[in-house]
Structures are given as C-alpha cells and as structure tokens.
C-alpha cells in the first residue's frame, strides 16, 4: 500500500536575520519537488547504443498557494511581493523532511537543507474563486545533509568526515 503525501514535508525559511522555517502546507493542495537532472549522452564508436551520464541536478518547486491573510508565510509573501527582490535579496533556504524514514530521536528526522532563490510568478485568479499566489523556489548548489526537528523547526547539519 502506498504512503500518503503528508509524510513528505517541505519547510521554507522566511526569517530575515535568523532562520524561521514555516511548513509549506496551508493553502497548498499540490507540491512536487522537481529534480531537473541534466544528462549527457555520448555514443562511442564501438557501441550500437549511447551511454548516458547524469551531470547535475537543479531542484525546483512551483508553489501555488491560496491567499490566507493571517498566516506567517502569507504575510512574508505580501511584504516581498511589494518589493519584488532580485539577486542576493531573493535568496533563502528550504528543508525537505521525509518522516517515513527512521527518526533520529523523538520528532527529529534525517533531512536535506538547500539554499534557494525564490521568485514570484503571479497573484490573482478567476472571478468567484480564491485569491492565489504563485511562486517558484529553485535550489542553489548542493544540499546539506542533516536532521530536522519538526516541533522546534530547527535544522542541524550532519558533520562530514
């Protein structure tokens, strides 16, 4: 039997001076983290079929969210949409947590933190429908392995040897 979607959680950092991770959840009915692999295929002279190689990944998420006025994420979006930040001002981070994995301790699971850029794609919607925000979150560089405490919303990087 397959597992339910709520077991894979994404937390987005809306903090200015310190990390403040909010769950991407309320108002979002669908969210898929696309890995966008870049592949290279070569066809050597002695082969009848080509050889593939995965060169890199460029993770991204399209987030379409109903406007929920008093929610922390919505307040952050409202502020940022007024400014439409670019460059370094449009950077943050997100954490992916799969609670189907073996927990490290009570409420703490293995996680991946990724620096990201964010962009606002649109706000609006059809007449008679909910007001909707649309933004894209795109990964920057390699992910950082670690753990995430879901209750305190704290990421701790795993020490590498």
pLDDT tens readout for residues 114-148 = 999 999 999 999 999 999 999 999 999 999 999 99
Question: Does the pLDDT at position 159 exceed 90?
Answer: no
Residues 6+ apart with CB under 8 A from 45: none
Q: CA dist 65 to 13, 60, 68, 83, 155, Å?
A: 16, 16, 8, 19, 24
Please report which confidence band the pLDDT of residue 1 belongs to, taking 50, 70 and 90 as the band edges: confident
pLDDT tens readout for residues 102-119 = 999 999 999 999 999 999
- At 16, list the tokens: 């200015």
Q: CA dist 131 to 9, 49, 122, 126, Å?
A: 24, 50, 11, 8
Question: Is this model's pTM higher than 0.75 or not?
Answer: yes
Average pLDDT, the chain: 95
pLDDT tens readout for residues 10-21 = 999 999 999 999
pLDDT tens readout for residues 43-56 = 999 999 999 999 99
Contact between residue 113 and residue 143 where contact means Cβ atoms under 8 Å apart: yes
Does 66 or 160 have the greater pLDDT score?
A: 66
**CATH number where 16 lies:** 2.40.30
Question: Does the pLDDT at position 161 exceed 70?
Answer: no
Domain that holds residue 63: 5-157
- Total domains, the chain: 1
pLDDT tens readout for residues 24-71 = 999 999 999 999 999 999 999 999 999 999 999 999 999 999 999 999
């Amino acid at each position: 039997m397959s597992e339910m979607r709520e077991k894979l959680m994404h937390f987005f950092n809306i903090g200015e001076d310190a990390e403040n991770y909010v769950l991407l959840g309320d108002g979002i009915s669908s969210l898929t983290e696309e890995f966008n692999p870049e592949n290279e295929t070569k066809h050597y002279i002695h082969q009848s079929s080509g050889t593939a190689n995965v060169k890199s990944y460029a993770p991204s998420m399209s987030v379409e969210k109903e406007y929920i006025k008093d929610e922390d994420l919505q307040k952050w979006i409202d502020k940022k949409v007024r400014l439409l930040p670019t460059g370094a001002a449009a950077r943050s981070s997100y954490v992916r947590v799969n609670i189907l994995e073996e927990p490290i301790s009570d409420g703490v699971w293995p996680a991946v933190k990724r620096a990201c850029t964010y962009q606002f794609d649109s706000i609006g919607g059809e007449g008679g429908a909910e007001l909707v925000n649309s933004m894209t979150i795109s990964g920057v560089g390699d992910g950082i392995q670690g753990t995430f405490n879901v209750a305190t919303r704290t990421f701790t990087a795993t020490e590498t040897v």
